[in-house]
Structure 1
Amino acid sequence: MTVTTGQVRYRALFAAGPFRRFFASRAISLVGDAAIPTALALAMTELGYSPAWLGGMLAAAILPKVVFLVFGGIAADRTAKRPLMVASSIVCGSAQLITVIVLVSGADLWWALLCQATYGISVAAGYPATFGYLPHCVPAQHLGPANALISAWTGAAALLGPVVTAVCFALGDAAWALVLDGLSFLLGAALLWGLPRGAATVEKGEGQGASAMREGWRAMRRLPWLLRMTLVDSTILLLVSAPFMVLGPGLVTERMSAASWTLLMLLFAAGELLGSLFSGRVALPRPVFTAALSLLAMGLPPLFLALGSGLAPLAAAQVLAGASVGAYSVLVTTAVQRSVPREHLSKVGALASVGSFAFLPVGYVLAPLIASWTGPTPLLWAAALWTAASVAVLVADRRLREFRG
């Protein structure tokens, strides 16, 4: 592994107008979105709503993304991508602003649930377009650094979002974070005006409905390593990430403090930022193989928590786990964008996302139920062991090991 010298530097990417404005649009929206889980929790608690309503609000936004993401991928390949991204941002921003109005006015909360469901559907419609749009605003040889910057900012947004909420809460009302999220989407839409349209990559008569999904599936099957990675991703999120995220807060708070859990989340986000930036600046002969090996770090936080380790080992594990996620995202996304024809790129991205995240909500529900029977420690041990087994399954694939795209 060597640091590239001829590869475009990050500053050079920002010198190109289309990428600079596309990145700014994504960056602003990501910060707003990162504030939402904490902002909803604080705002609804302040207003006296029950935890069941909060869970319903979060689920209302998540489930439509999973259900409609594939259809968003079909739309993104069949239509110009920039108008689709603009429309999605406007709908998302409006939905968040109306949600605030419903919450603070005391109107029927079902309207807020409807707004969040609309928000989820709109994200599902717009995200595949952003995935497929990047090759329209940067050359193929610059996709690695461009993806690294976007992934790195995703990690930075995870740090900034809770800070934004904390500031709004300190100023008197966490609901202001929801207002800022809505405005961030509208500003993001404005920044996209005038950029390349990201023309449709399939003809109107081709690949409609189920036929389009089959085309995306066939394109994905041409990358067997991606199919294997998508399956492994789904099991890691189900059996590793979900148990740690559900059981970790209580265990860390009990053994250390609530502030310790907040610190661990910030360190994970910092690691993700560093991993993303570093992976965008290195030339790897086998990037997918390296990405697969990096997933081993995902098993460290549940392992140390199961061992009853103190804050320092857990903190180091979180930094490494975050770095692995950041590097994995950049390396795999870049490999897919370089390997999949443009006419299928958005569909493949949507299928991979749905496959990876479909079981995460199930993990959130099952982990506490199983832990109530077995206790949390066996689940955490299982999470660590499953991570190692998953990586072994990945690297056992010769096509994955030898891929050099």
Structure 2
Amino acid sequence: MRRKGFDGNFALLAAGQGVSLLGNSVLDLALSMYVLERTGSAAVYGSMLAAAMLPAVLLAPLGGVLADRADRRRLMVWLDVLNGCAVLLTIPFLRGEGGVWAAGALMVVLSVLGAVETPVVQAALPQAVTAGALEYANAVVLQISMLSAMAGPALGGVMFGVFGAAPMLLVCGVCFLATAGLERLIRLKPVEQSPAAGGMLRTFRQDLAASVRLLCREQIALLGLLGLTAALAMLCNGVAGVGAPFLIRTSLALDAGWYGAAGSALGTFGILGSLAAGFLAGKMRGCLHWVLAVMGVFLLPAGAAFLMNARPLVCYGMLVAAFCGMQMCAVVFSVFARSAMQRRVPGQMLGKLMALGAAVETCGQPAGQLVYGVLFDACPAGWVLLLTGFLVLALGLAGRRVLARLGL
């Protein structure tokens, strides 16, 4: 369906994101299967994954500065060219004794490039659409991301079983290079840049200081939104990321098929959430805090079912329903929160603020997973779910004033 404010630039940006994200999703599976097949150790793969996540947090501010200082279209093109070349150059090393190290190095390189690419794409989006179409555009980008996350592992699993890791990396490298070709055709509106401070390090410090001043003095509501997002990431990603596998596989003693079905349901409801966000564009003024409150309410029946020691399938159904409802609400909140930031931040500072938001959310996720790992071991699952439900409900109600300042 054609939306006002969408044009060929957005279509190219969305198509490029689709090809790139699908390649990333297939690549993640290929690397994980390759490392596990060669080493037989989940600890080795887990260590590599943890090491690869660090650049996403540590280099996010640098990625934001580059997103604001460089030509965003050219930067997207070169980043995908580098992604493609890194993947293709890794293929010859996979057959040797150092194949595992080559795979680990590739994971780190891709993480470094991704730390720059994420804020660049998010900052470029307002240049590709009109201000009134931001919610629709963010919803479409999220739909593409979720569809890629669902289709990638399924496609990758078949490809890995038939062809092995090397052909999969070849396909992924071509996907990145094809994305670069699409991005070369994008034409973005120019953004006025603030003068550089003279020297890369001084400019980096100047830009970060300007971002802090913007948040603390001019856009205090956005600072509150970042805090709200971090708290939400810690609570919701913690309870779902730890709770879903632990409760389904350990507490309820259900096999992996039930867990896989839950994952498919979550992906489906994530897509439904992005569709709902597009439908609700322009209709959420003064209402977004209720979306957060409802997220907490979804957890309460699941907590009650576990406390009453209901039958395993009853508990499973309540738990999956709770997490699916939360997923749908979280996507709606994400679309409107991201659009509010893109709309209120000046174009020459948008990359830095989007990078900061991504870093804050990334930090909240492992913190929540650590806390909930301890909680689910130490406390009855029902009480953990109920407590989290009430905390998220309270978070939504407490965030009403912050969201109202943003017109949400």
| TM-score normalised by structure 1 residue count | 0.86
SS in 1 for 2:185: coil
Are residue 166 (structure 1) and residue 169 (structure 2) matched? Answer: no
1:219 aligns with 2:214: yes
**Match of 1:394?**
399
* Number of the residue aligned with 1:90: 81
Partners of 2:150 and 2:382 lie apart in 1 by 28
Is 1:358 the counterpart of 2:355? The answer is no
Which moves more between the two structures, 38-47 or 74-83?
A: 38-47
The one-letter code matched in structure 1 to 2:24 is D
1:43 paired with 2:39, answer no
2:388 is aligned with 1:383: yes
CA 1:101/1:56 → structure 2, altered by over 3 Å: closer, same or farther?
farther
Q: CA deviation at 1:176?
A: 4.9
In 2, the alpha carbon distance for the partners of 1:385 and 1:285 equals: 26
1:291-348 CA deviation, whole Å, 9 max, x = no partner? 3322335446755554334333333323322221221121112222221111111111
Q: Give runs of aligned pairs for residues 102-251 of structure 1, distance below 5 A.
A: 102-107=93-98, 109-173=100-164, 176-196=167-187, 199-205=190-196, 208-221=203-216, 222-251=218-247
Cα 1:236–1:335 shift into 2, 3 Å: closer
- The answer for the alignment partner of 1:6 in structure 2 is none
Aligned position for 2:347: 342
Question: Runs of 5+ in structure 1 lacking a partner?
Answer: 1-8
Task: Rate the CA distance shift 1:197–1:400 in 2: closer, same or farther, 3 A.
Answer: closer
Distance 1:173 1:165, change over 3 A: same
Segment of structure 1 superposing worse, 321-330 or 170-179: 170-179
Deviations 1:34-89 (A, max 9, x none): 34444433332222341122112222332101111111111111111011111211
1:404 aligns with 2:407: yes
SS in structure 1 of the partner of residue 39 of structure 2: coil
- Structure-2 change in CA distance of 1:107 and 1:375 (3 Å): farther
Kindly provide the amino acid, as one letter, of the partner of residue 391 in structure 1: G
CA contact (8 A) 1:31 1:161 kept: yes
Is 1:279 matched with 2:287?
A: no
Indicate conservation of the 8 Å contact 1:60/1:120, yes or no: no
Give the counterpart of 1:10 among 2, 6, 12. 2
* Corresponding letter in the other structure for 1:253: R
> Contact conserved, 1:95 with 1:116, CA < 8 A, in 2?
no
Cα contact 1:19–1:138 (8 A) shared by 2: yes
Of 233, 249, 253, which aligns to 1:253? 249
Q: 1:153 to 1:185 in 2, by over 3 A?
A: same
Residue pair 2:60, 2:356 contacting (<8 A) in 1 also: yes
- Describe the shift of the 1:201–1:176 C-alpha distance in structure 2 as closer, same or farther (beyond 3 A): farther
Aligned-residue offset at 1:150: 0.8
Are 2:277 and 2:332, in contact at CA under 8 Å, matched by a contact in 1?
yes
Out of 255, 261, 264, the residue aligned to residue 263 of structure 1 is 261
Q: Which amino acid aligns with 2:181?
A: A
The answer on whether the counterparts of 1:151 and 1:276 sit within 8 Å (CA) in structure 2 is yes
Q: Structure 1 residue 282: deviation in Å? A: 2.9
| Structure 2: tracts of 5 or more residues without a match | 307-313
Aligned counterparts, 1:8-87, within 5 A: 9-10=1-2, 16-87=7-78
Specify the SS of the correspondent of 2:343. helix
Residue identity in the other structure for 1:235: A
* Greater mean deviation of Cα atoms: 78-87 or 382-391: 382-391
Q: How many residues align?
A: 393
Structure 1 letter corresponding to 2:290: L
SS of 2:399's equivalent in the other structure is helix
Partner of 1:329: 334
Whole-angstrom distance in 2 between the partners of 1:98 and 1:261? 36
User: 1: CA distance between counterparts of 2:292 and 2:256?
Assistant: 27
User: Take 1:272 and 1:73, find their aligned partners in 2: how far apart are those partners?
Assistant: 27
Residues in 2 aligned to 1:81 and 1:18: alpha-carbon distance in whole angstroms: 13
Say if 1:98 and 1:304 are closer, same or farther in 2 by CA, change over 3 A: farther
Q: 1:122 deviation in Å?
A: 0.8
Identity of aligned residues (%): 25
Conserved 8 A contact 2:225-2:337: no
For 1:124, the aligned partner's letter is A
Q: Distance in 2 between matches of 1:403 and 1:369?
A: 36
Asked if 2 retains the 8 angstrom alpha-carbon contact of 1:133 and 1:198, the reply is no
Q: Does 1:296 align with 2:289?
A: no
Q: Is the 8 A contact 1:231 1:356 kept in 2?
A: no
Letter of the structure 2 residue corresponding to residue 237 of structure 1: A
The whole-number CA distance in structure 2 between the counterparts of 1:175 and 1:300 is 47
Q: 1:10 Cα shift?
A: 3.5
Instruction: Give distance in 2, aligned partners of 1:155 and 1:291.
Output: 22
1:4 corresponds to: none
> What corresponds to 2:309 in structure 1?
none
Q: Distance in 1 between matches of 2:380 and 2:61?
A: 37
Q: Distance in 2 between matches of 1:61 and 1:303?
A: 36
Distance 1:79 1:55 in 2: 34
